[in-house]
Structure formats: structure tokens, C-alpha cells
Amino acid sequence: MPESEAALCAEMSRLAYCPFERDAAAKDIVRGALAGIGFRVADANFFAVSKAKAYLATSERASVLAFRGTEASKPGDLLTDIDAVQHKWAPGGLVHEGFRDAILQVWPLIEPALRDTPGRLLFTGHSLGAALATLAASLHRPARLHTIGSPRVGDKAFTETLASLAADRYVDCCDIVSQVPLREMGFEHYGEFFYIDQRGVITPHPRDAVVEADQRSARWSYFWKYSWKWSAVRSRRLADHAPINYVSALMGLRENSAD
């Protein structure tokens, strides 16, 4: 059993990548993994449209809505990510148009399932999934939002619509996705910042200078140790975005030694 809500949400975000919309065996993988910690997912609580995928897992103590992130093999997902024109958002402010279109497409399927959820309601997701979870939280307020490797979603006026929502935002070292879209384009992050350093140590709201120094060291170390290997991801900025790296850190499985 994960020792924290954040660790639970990181693992549920990772499981959201199982292709349950096209493979019954993938549903069994999700259900099997969650059954061991007391959660269930009804058939009706797997949600899939062309631009977004999610599932709702429930238990007596909590219900978790987990969104799937970007699938690099799916051109539609990549188009959603790069469609960064800002568009008016009904609850307030301006948001990333691609993310907006995706959540509005899947929301009619999800909203009815949230009307009677047991326990504490949590929203989560990794990458694109984190962006969709953030938008979902402005449509239906959960008890807490946990985002994993989230891009920026909207402008300052949008983040103000989430004021008072408890939210944790986890960033793994050099993760490039957490750095886009740029602030210069009018985008802001929402949530308390938790930084995962190159050793897997998690620090809440660290100083910018500390983060920058750790990232420089991490990129240099990765370049010498891994970038030349045929099977390795060429850039630490991309490697740090992998869901499993977030899960390992939040579950305390890193060796706490420099990568």
C-alpha cells in the first residue's frame, strides 16, 4: 500500500497508461493492481474518447480520478499538447486550447460518475493527464489535486479560479514537460511545488538557485553516464518525465545516490 496520497496518485497515474479502451486484459491489469490496496473500478468508470482517457477508482476511504498522459505514438495526443493557443475558460481566465478541448470532450462521461463517490475525492494525472486533472478540478472541486510532471495549463486568472483548492505539484528534476508552455506565453502553474532532486529526495518549494544547481549537475552526470548508450533516452530532460521515475521517488524506492 502506498504510504501517502501522492504516492498512491503517482501509481494510479502510471496505471492510466494501460490501454483499457482497446484491450480487456489491460482493464484486468488496472483492476488487479488496485484490488490489492482495496480499490475497485467499475466498467462504467473507464472513460475514453479520442482526446482523453481516464478511470475512477473507488474505495471506502477515497475515490481517485486518474487521467492518462500523452502517448507519444498517438498523433492526436501530440497535437493536443502543441495546441497552446489560449482560449477562454468558462469558470474564468484563459487556458491551453488543446487541453481545454480534450477535457470538454470527456467531461460529459465523467461528471455523472462524480455525483456519489465514496470517501475523499482526489484528482490526478501525469503529463497531459495532469493538465486535464487540473481543468477537471475547476469544474468539480475535489478534496485534493495531485499533479505529476504537469505542464502549465492556463493564465493567472485561471489559477485564481482554483484558489483555496489543496494541490500538490510534483516535478522530477529536469522534466522538460513541467517547463512548458512558457511563462512568457502567459501561462502559470498551480499548486504547492514539490521538487524531486537527482537523488530522489523530495523538497517542498525549494529556492530557485537550489533547483538550478541540482538540474545542472543532473544533466552533466546523465550526459556522461547514459547519453552515449544506444538504449538510453538521449536527454535527462526527457528521461525525468517518465511516470515510473515519479512513482519510484514518491514511494521512496530511489537509492538516494546521484544518477
CB 91 within 8 A of CB 80: no
Distance CA 95, CA 59 (A): 32
pLDDT given at position 84: 73
pLDDT given at position 47: 98
Q: Which cell numbers hold the place of 146?
A: 495531485
Q: For 117-164, how does the pLDDT look when each residue is reduced to its tens digit (9 = 90+)?
A: 999 999 999 999 999 999 999 999 999 999 999 999 999 999 999 999
Which residues have C-beta within 8 Å of that of residue 184, sequence separation ≥ 6?
none
Query: Is the pTM higher than 0.85?
Result: yes
Which residues have C-beta within 8 Å of that of residue 208, sequence separation ≥ 6?
none
CB 24 within 8 A of CB 31: no
CB 152 within 8 A of CB 180: yes
Residues of the chain with pLDDT under 50: 75-79, 257-259
pLDDT given at position 253: 83
What residue ranges define each of the domains in the chain, with the CATH number in brackets?
A: 5-250 (3.40.50.1820)
